[in-house]
Amino acid sequence: MPEGHSVRRIANRFNKDFKNSPIKITSPQGRFVDSTLISGQELIEANALGKQMFLHFESGTIRIHLGIFGKWSFSKLEKEPVGQVRARFQTEGLIADLRGPTICELIDQAGVQAVYDRLGPDPLWPDGDLKQLARFLERVSRSNSAIGQLLMDQSVIAGIGNVYRAELLFRAGLSPFTKGKSVPQEVLVGIWNDAVVLMALGVKTGLMLTRDGYLSAKVPRFERYQVYKREGLECRLCFGPVSIGLMQARKLYWCARCQK
Ligand SMILES: [Zn+2]
């Protein structure tokens, strides 16, 4: 599933290529029936919060959540849609096709606000300042759940997925099993600030780069991570084995020696 940085990249792309232009919106698959209500209007702005994207038009907002199987493809050439295209966004010289999203729906301003209220603070939110951080601290500090679980909870922090979860906790030297309310405040502040920097780098490069000294797009995949998908291999720091387990049905990677 795409993590927040990749959703933000798509929103940026919409702002660059589609904003202030009338957009023809169709649903070749026929499942996004409300497309006809918006088609032809100008895109006012694209925004992303966590793993969800919002395309704001004059008479409504299209909310998109890719889920596990959703995908975007962009094309400069006009061609017939291939496969199951839920929504096609077309402006002069550019087509964006959306396939397999969990959600693609038209909502009103109140609907947007309801989703915003439900989601936690996003390290990539443009005014991602102390208010966002305060919300994160408040939500973690009152919880009995494990921090590894809380980082995946979109109402606690929006946009983090399995890769950033594993890597942020390793970088903080924190066990994923520590209860939220037992994590010292300064450690939480460190995790938040780390997420702000690393996810911004993810927006810039399109890659989840998390190893200091290896923060370049040229780093091969197997060199990229500290613990993610490195189960059984030597920890890069202590040379002990990287562990794997399941936490709420998602794979969890950590180093039991480095993360206390
Ligand atoms: Zn280690």
* CATH number of the domain to which 64 belongs: 3.20.190.10
Same domain, 196 and 224: yes
Residue 113 is part of which domain span?
4-118
Which two tokens mark 224? Answer: 């990229």
Length of the chain: 260
Ligand 1 centroid, distance to 105 Cα (angstroms) = 44
Where among 118, 143, 167 does a domain terminate? Answer: 118
Same domain, 114 and 136: no
Same domain, 108 and 175: no
Which two tokens mark 234? Answer: 């030597």
Give the separation between CA 43 and CA 4, rounded to whole angstroms: 21
Same domain, 104 and 134: no
In this prediction, residue 149 carries a pLDDT of: 98
In this prediction, residue 34 carries a pLDDT of: 96
Contacts of 83 (CB under 8 A, 6+ apart): 99
Buried b (16+ CB within 10 A) or exposed e, 92-115: eebbbbbbbbebbebbeeeebeeb
Give the separation between CA 72 and CA 206, rounded to whole angstroms: 14
Which two tokens mark 31? Answer: 């499942």
Percent composition of the chain: helix, strand, coil (DSSP 3-state, to 5) = 30, 25, 45
Same domain, 46 and 76: yes
Same domain, 143 and 222: yes
Same domain, 203 and 172: yes
pLDDT digits (tens, 9 = 90+) for 173-202: 999 999 999 999 999 999 999 999 999 999
Contact present, 238 and 258 (Cβ < 8 Å): yes
Ligand 1 centroid, distance to 234 Cα (angstroms) = 8
Contact present, 100 and 37 (Cβ < 8 Å): no
Same domain, 196 and 144: yes
pLDDT digits (tens, 9 = 90+) for 68-112: 999 999 999 888 998 999 999 999 999 999 999 999 999 999 999
Q: Is 163 exposed, middle or buried (0-12, 13-18, 19+ CB in 10 A)?
A: buried
Give the separation between CA 90 and CA 136, rounded to whole angstroms: 38
Q: Is 45 exposed, middle or buried (0-12, 13-18, 19+ CB in 10 A)?
A: middle
In this prediction, residue 8 carries a pLDDT of: 97
Same domain, 37 and 108: yes
Ligand 1 centroid, distance to 198 Cα (angstroms) = 20
Contact present, 159 and 5 (Cβ < 8 Å): yes
Alpha helices in the chain (DSSP H): 4-17, 35-38, 109-118, 130-141, 147-150, 162-172, 185-205, 221-224
Query: First vs last Cα of the chain: how many Å apart?
Result: 28
**57 domain residue, yes or no:** yes
Provide the annotated active-site residues: 2-3, 51, 250
Ligand 1 centroid, distance to 167 Cα (angstroms) = 12
Percentage, residues of the chain above pLDDT 70? 99
Domain with 211 in it: what CATH number? 1.10.8.50
Same domain, 136 and 228: yes
Give the pairing type, strands 85-91 and 94-99: antiparallel
Ligand 1 centroid, distance to 257 Cα (angstroms) = 5
* Number of folded domains that form the chain: 2
**74 domain residue, yes or no:** yes
pLDDT digits (tens, 9 = 90+) for 211-259: 999 998 888 988 999 999 999 999 999 999 999 999 999 999 999 999 9
In this prediction, residue 129 carries a pLDDT of: 63
Where among 74, 94, 118 does a domain terminate? Answer: 118
Residues bordering ligand 1, an ion, CB closer than 5 Å = 235, 237-238, 255, 257-258
